[in-house]
Amino acid sequence: MNISISKKIKNPILPGFNPDPSIVRVGEDFYIATSTFEWYPGVQIHHSRDLVNWRLVSRPLNRPDLLDMIGEPCSCGIWAPCLTYSDGLFHLIYTDVKRFDGIKDTPNFLTTCETIDGDWSEPVYLNNSGFDPSLFHDDDGRKWLVNMVWDYRPNKNPFGGIYLQEYSPDERKMIGPVTNIFKGTDLGLTEAPHLYKRNGYYYLVTAEGGTEYDHAMTMARSKTIDGPYEVDPIKHFVTSKDNPDLYIQRAGHGDFVETEDGQVYVVHLCGRPLPGPQRRCVLGRETAIQEAYWNEDGWLRLKNGTNEPDDIVEHAGLAACEWPDENPRTTFEGEELPIDFQWLRTPYKDELFSLTERPGYLRLFGRDSLGSWYYQSLVARRQQAFNYRSETKIDFSPESFLQKAGLVSYYNSHKYHYFYISINDDGQRILSIMSCEGDPSQNFIFPLSSSEYASVTDSDGNIVIPSNGAVYLRSDVAGSELTFSWSMDGDNWNQVPCVLDQSLISDQAGKGAGCSFTGAFTGMACQDLAGTKIAADFEYFDYIEQP
């Protein structure tokens, strides 16, 4: 039974790789859309009725015409979606970034749907001038697109300001002039625009300072939609940049929403670093929420009296609405992959896996290496807590050292730890660990031999296991440490004598540090560099968060 109670909201509300939130309310329902980058299907949408309890309900970009990211580099793909509701339709604006370095290719699209979990319309191409597009529905019926412009020219600020142009829903295209309405503040890196209208003012919210520890939300306003825009007197109304001791760091890139009774809440990107000077965020960029209000001068302010985010937000009003607890064990009886799981880049999932060829199992077909940007047979879910255990049971009989399958802790194509089954030159089935610690040209295979395992390892230090039978694999993560274990019966476990650095599976580690935008995943993988697409069958997958 739902009752009106005082409650506390614990941040982040969407833990573990849920960045760039866009929020909308439709009646009593709240929805947040977040970025998914190279993971498929594209865009995560969570639903809540009380702003406390959230559940994942949809990934709209689930067809080739809506999204195809084959060959796109890591941290490309879906950047910063915008979700709005108007004229009886949800409107989803998104960028599919095709190129990361230098000149960026950033085609922007619009798709619509009557329901949040329905079949979304064929996409409308909008422009290619920059990323972070957002659609504003004005009260006179006109619709306007804003996006940051990427200026690739030498000796120019690549964050060239915020473009405004009208969109015609009848013609399904952009119309009229393009106007640069805002160049940002001295913090720089101005992006993530959203437009709003209140009491005769157009309000423009942007993100500035980059997505690391100088991130911030900046507000400006104007009496006319095309400016000029007056910057908020305090400049950045949400930021963690001046207080490294806050639990919620990297606060920026956000949106706000009003409840039916007029309460205002700001959602924003954030990160929670592991302890230590490296400040690595293995959970990636997450989503937090803050209570806010409009002050007498017409500027948005946080309810806590500062511009710094709280990790605990107190409020009263909305009826409590809790969702059923998730089962820590995922089984594969259905014909569709459970919603917590994703794969990489391709819309053609049948080329990677099947849930019907062996009923009750997830069958992965061996494809490219873990470093590929094309066809990876990797099915995984987000790491959403600093401490967790994952476990799976795998049936796999390799015929060549070019074939492997197992359990992986994965960030991107050059940051992962992989505990896998393969075969050695003597035809023995073995277990081994491959790690890529931030440089895609370097893959380390760890010798696992020790006095404890000397009787069960081969000359290369791999663990020799029986030639037949399913194998149980387990990973345990505690902060920055990762260990792997294995069992032949599911009861008697053997921990591999090797502690791996889980902090490498983060935004801030290795090649691309500071330009990596996703988060850690745990999941199942299968490779076949011989090209025969050998199958590996997974019976279940456990994800259990630990204290």
Active site residue ranges: 20, 191
Other Cβ atoms within 10 Å of 156 Cβ, number: 9
CA dihedral 244, 245, 248, 252 (to 10 degrees): -20
Token pair listed for 76:
């490309």
User: Which three-class secondary structure state does DSSP give residue 9?
Assistant: strand
Token pair listed for 408:
């992986």
- Check if the beta carbon of residue 313 is closer than 8 Å to that of residue 287: no
Residues in the chain, total: 547
Residue 520 contacts by C-beta under 8 Å, 6 or more apart in sequence?
16, 17, 282, 283, 284, 382, 383, 409, 410, 411, 502, 505, 506
User: What are φ and ψ of residue 138, in 5° steps?
Assistant: -75, 160
Nearest CA-CA partner of 255 in 203, 325, 314: 203
CA dihedral 63, 65, 71, 76 (to 10 degrees): -80
- Dump the DSSP string for 135-182: EEE-TTS-EEEEEEEE--STTS-SEEEEEEEEEETTTTEEEEEEEEEE
Check the CA dihedral 136-138-141-143 and report its sign: negative
- Beta strands 173-182 and 4-10 are unpaired
User: What are φ and ψ of residue 462, in 5° steps?
Assistant: -85, 150
Token pair listed for 480:
């920055």
Q: Based on the number of CB atoms within 10 Å of its own CB, is 307 exposed (0-12), middle (13-18) or buried (19 or more)?
A: buried
Nearest CA-CA partner of 286 in 42, 44, 40, 546: 44
Distance CA 453, CA 363 (A): 31
Distance CA 288, CA 265 (A): 10
- Check if the beta carbon of residue 141 is closer than 8 Å to that of residue 116: no
Token pair listed for 12:
């982040």
**Measured CA angle at 352 (ends 55, 109), to 5 deg:** 55
Q: Tell me which residue has tokens 């940049």.
A: 241
Question: Which residues make beta-bridge pairs with 342?
Answer: 380
